[in-house]
Amino acid sequence: MSVGLAGLSTAVALARRGHSVLVLESTSELLHVGAGVALTSATRRWYESEGVLQPNEEACVALDGIELRNWATGDLITKTAANPVGKQNAIHHGDLQLALLSRAQTLPNIEIQMDARVVDIDIEATSITTSSGEQHTADLIVAADGIRSTIKPYVCPPEAAKAVPTNDAAYRFTLPRQLLELQSTSDDSSGADQDALLGLIQRPWASRWDGPGKHVVVYPIRNHQLLNIVLIHPDREDQAEESWTSMADKSHVTEDFRGWDPRLQKLIELAPQKVPNFRLFVHEVCPAWHKGHTVLLGDACHAMLPYLGQGVAQAVEDATALTTVLSLIESPSQIPLALQAFETSRKERVAEIQAATYQAQTKLHLKDAEAQRIRDDDRKAAGQQKQNSDVVQMQQQYWVWDAAEVAARVLRGLLV
């Protein structure tokens, strides 16, 4: 495991159920990186039940819904209807990671080793070797080491690791509330325009603009002290490699979103001169998730694109399912059976969500003006009926899922 969200979530869940956990992280220190991530209501409740987040957690903002706006004018199309299941939540990736690390450090049966890069694994012996030459043997190896997993090639065929470009990339940055307030007091625009800009961070609502080949999502995080901004756009790069560290000049952001809502233009003006630009690739669900006593988890076996905001939720469901099956077996000899139950219980669900994610990308990025008008009219009509449509409806249909019950049911069938 690593100190990513999937690894730490699984480590905390296993440790709280009596397992001894060693977490190996390849980096030498944990950096507070990334931007906002979405948590479904069930995901937030899970983190609260595991003692990672508190019910009144200020770092995590409960959103009342999403305001859908015209990409060019900013006019409101509709507001999403309330979901009886609960609210979408927003938190900075770094804040959630630190909360997980803090929780892990309170559990005496979790040991975390930094600067411990895994360089080799012996599937038969269930042992790994780190770059320092140190060897570790365990009953189970959990590879929660992300899309560039070093353990993945030992478990499934090399061709399963091939990533396919979506031809999209994501500019991501955050703006502090103080900067937005300063901009509003010094701006020559009208009071209504200033209030509209500040409202993006003051109110517990996300805003989304869906335009030709692009879309933008904005929402408050960290107790409304940071505004998270994600701008999905056509990928400019010709290189074939996936990158989560590339930076783009702000002039590219300005050019890509020229002619969009003036509020978005203001936000881009306030962005740093260099903006993180994450290239988005498709990673198909791995054909095999486990081998012997080694199992893949999270992005290592089913990385999610951001169009439905399901990345953290599926990592938590993985942690829940794996913890459940390991708690139901009676001896280490049954671990392969438990891992088979874990994989079977999860694979169909994540494949379905991945497929829906690709559909969402198409719906968000309609290029034809008439198709956009029909889509937006349908959204407005649904809103008038207190209903949700297309992408929001797709998002919410995946919020309810009992990963523990499904995993337990599959395992019981295998044990018969």
Return phi, psi of residue 287, to 5°: -70, -25
Cβ-Cβ contacts under 8 Å for 2 (sequence gap 6 or more):
23, 24, 25, 26, 144, 145, 146
Residue appearing with tokens 């074939």: 240
Let me know: does 194 contact 184? Beta carbons within 8 Å.
yes
Q: Where are the alpha helices (DSSP H) in 25-149?
A: 41-49, 93-105
Let me know: does 367 contact 214? Beta carbons within 8 Å.
no
| DSSP state letter for 273 | S
**45 annotated active-site:** no
Distance CA 76, CA 73 (A): 9
- Checking DSSP bridges between strand 88-92 and strand 61-63, what pairing results, if any? antiparallel
Which of 298, 314, 304 has the alpha carbon at shortest distance from 399? 314
Distance CA 145, CA 293 (A): 16
Distances 64 to 41, 95, 119 between C-alpha atoms, Å: 12, 21, 46
Distance CA 32, CA 45 (A): 23
Residue appearing with tokens 């919410």: 396
Let me know: does 77 contact 215? Beta carbons within 8 Å.
no
Q: Which two tokens stand for residue 354?
A: 């991945």
Residues 134-138: contacts with CB under 8 Å, at least 24 apart: 136/22, 136/24, 138/22, 138/293
Q: How far is CA 295 from the centre of its chain?
A: 20
Return phi, psi of residue 59, to 5°: -65, -20
> Residue 409 CB: number of other CB atoms within 10 A?
12
Which of 172, 208, 279, 375 is the catalytic position? 172
Instruction: Quote helix, strand, coil % in the chain, to nearest 5.
Output: 40, 25, 35
Distance CA 237, CA 244 (A): 13
- For 29, the 3-state DSSP assignment is coil
- Checking DSSP bridges between strand 226-234 and strand 164-176, what pairing results, if any? antiparallel
Active site residues: 172
